[in-house]
A and B are shown apart, each in its own frame.
With several copies, the nearest count.
Chain A
């Protein structure tokens, strides 16, 4: 049976070069980077090299602006909580959107419990934040605006540079969760004008266990993981040296390959989207028609539920998702689709195909072949489909 991996938004397969670079640090070069002997120095050098590579990928001015974390989620928690707590003498208000990843959204909700005020700006039907809404939401108490670079479920890209012009003018810090974009499309912190940016290695052919937070020099942030002096005293815990090395190599590879990735993926994405709309009735494409990632095709299939489709797709060798991997085991409809105004029942039938560099036209055509009968079969089982035919 053909195997088609269309779940790159959940995670990607590490590049062979990434894995090979990690191997020596799994066993041989095992020192603790904080130790002042050769075992430690070798490890320390390796993570500093990785830091420079990650800095270079996102065009950060200085390697010291990169703080390694264990994941994108940790980077998001660090950004929100570290900035809010570190700048609370100025005020206790932050602004974010209704379509953020749960790592941002739940951090914001936790901070509400701590006595912070949070404004969740809405999005339009394409999932786009209006910079004017951000401008209106900012108060003299606002310390941070956090808007994701691209949404990981529907692929819509946000007008971050425009928002940055507003935050800079208003003297407010800007964080962007760029887990869905770094290593996939070009990301340049200077062009974007952000003060903080989260990224995650496993999202772009790097290893699990290594993410990073970019923090512009001079920004006041308190540590999230308290403890030792690692990461300039801003992130404690013995460094995950092999994963950090892997992240560095993934960054180096991405720097070379990202410019070409869009050109490879876009035609596949469009073929898939077009094919789905043609072959299945009552299928709706989610996200912005043009301001979107080259990798994402998110659709709602009416009358049936997403998980059951995924289970049948899996039996046919196709790996896909119903949206954020973090919620795919949860019960509720995607908060992203809900914020975009998608009918909640329809949102239950959401499917995300996220393409990656290994995918081919044959993969797309295979999915277009196996999906319609699955949809038909589930619809035959659905009381909603029957009710619709009756009426």
Chain B
């Protein structure tokens, strides 16, 4: 498989694996039939994401993008985090094989889903437009 060294590093030793029991937002995207599920937990303080963790069922790229996106959001404001595109995640991993780009999309969506959950939990209008009817439809 033509994964970059960076992808393989994050796959072999992923950062931020686990759950946050008292998370402020939890995202859950994908489904087992498609072969990828990401569960992403965020902790938010004063509009800033202070911690992020994930659990992922999926291929090497799915695990690596989960690891990378949780790294990237930490310390960012919610608004900044929402601007992290799937391309940015892929680029931070020195690229993904074309057939694996959907994993970076999933990572972006998992993050959006977690932020959406954060707003919902606080009964605030969510700025997140979740994609529906997509192959990896938000749960």
Q: Do chains A and B touch in the complex (CB under 8 A)?
A: yes
Q: Is B86 interfacial (CB-CB < 8 Å)? A: no
Q: Is B37 interfacial (CB-CB < 8 Å)? A: yes
Q: In the complex, what distance in Å separates the CA atom of A305 from the CA atom of B57?
A: 6
Say whether B12 contacts A315, CB under 8 Å. yes
Q: In the complex, what distance in Å separates the CA atom of A332 from the CA atom of B60?
A: 15
Residues of A within 8 A of B63 (CB): 308, 381
Residues of A within 8 A of B58 (CB): 305, 308
Residues of B within 8 A of A348 (CB): 32-33, 35, 57
Say whether B57 contacts A384, CB under 8 Å. yes
Say whether A383 contacts B28, CB under 8 Å. yes
Residues of A within 8 A of B34 (CB): 331
Q: Is B132 interfacial (CB-CB < 8 Å)? A: no
Q: Which residue of A304, A315, A329, A344 contacts B57 across the interface (Cβ within 8 Å)?
A: A304
Say whether B32 contacts A344, CB under 8 Å. yes
Say whether A331 contacts B33, CB under 8 Å. no
Say whether B2 contacts A333, CB under 8 Å. no
Residues of B within 8 A of A37 (CB): 1
Say whether A344 contacts B33, CB under 8 Å. yes
Q: List the count of A-B residue pairs having beta carbons below 8 Å apart.
A: 75
Residues of B within 8 A of A303 (CB): 57
Q: Which of A41, A303, A308, A315 is the most central at the interface, judged by chain B CB atoms within 10 Å of its CB?
A: A308
1/0 per residue B58-77: CB within 8 Å of A? Answer: 11101100000000000000
Say whether A311 contacts B11, CB under 8 Å. yes
Quick one: given A40-B1, A311-B11, A331-B99, are A382 and B35 in contact (CB under 8 Å)? no
Q: In the complex, what distance in Å separates the CA atom of A114 from the CA atom of B37?
A: 38
Residues of B within 8 A of A308 (CB): 11, 58-60, 62-63
Tell me, rounded to whole Å, the shortest Cβ–Cβ distance linking A319 to chain B.
Answer: 12
Q: Which residue of A44, A312, A315, A333 contacts B33 across the interface (Cβ within 8 Å)?
A: A333
Residues of A within 8 A of B24 (CB): none
Quick one: given A41-B1, A304-B57, A307-B60, are A383 and B39 in contact (CB under 8 Å)? yes
Chain A interface residues (CB < 8 Å from chain B):
36-37, 40-41, 44-45, 48, 303-305, 307-308, 311-312, 315, 329-333, 344-345, 348, 380-384, 386
Starting from the known contacts A331-B35, A386-B55, 19 additional A-B residue pairs (CB-CB under 8 Å) come to A45-B2, A48-B2, A303-B57, A305-B62, A307-B1, A308-B59, A311-B3, A311-B60, A312-B12, A329-B97, A329-B99, A333-B35, A344-B33, A345-B33, A348-B33, A381-B56, A383-B57, A384-B32, A384-B57
Chain B interface residues (CB < 8 Å from chain A):
1-3, 8, 11-12, 14, 17, 19, 28, 31-39, 55-60, 62-63, 97, 99, 102
A sample of 23 cross-chain residue pairs with beta-carbon separation below 8 angstroms, ordered by A number, consists of A36-B1, A44-B2, A305-B36, A305-B62, A308-B11, A308-B58, A308-B59, A308-B60, A311-B11, A311-B60, A312-B12, A315-B12, A331-B34, A331-B99, A333-B35, A348-B35, A382-B57, A383-B28, A383-B55, A383-B57, A384-B32, A386-B19, A386-B55
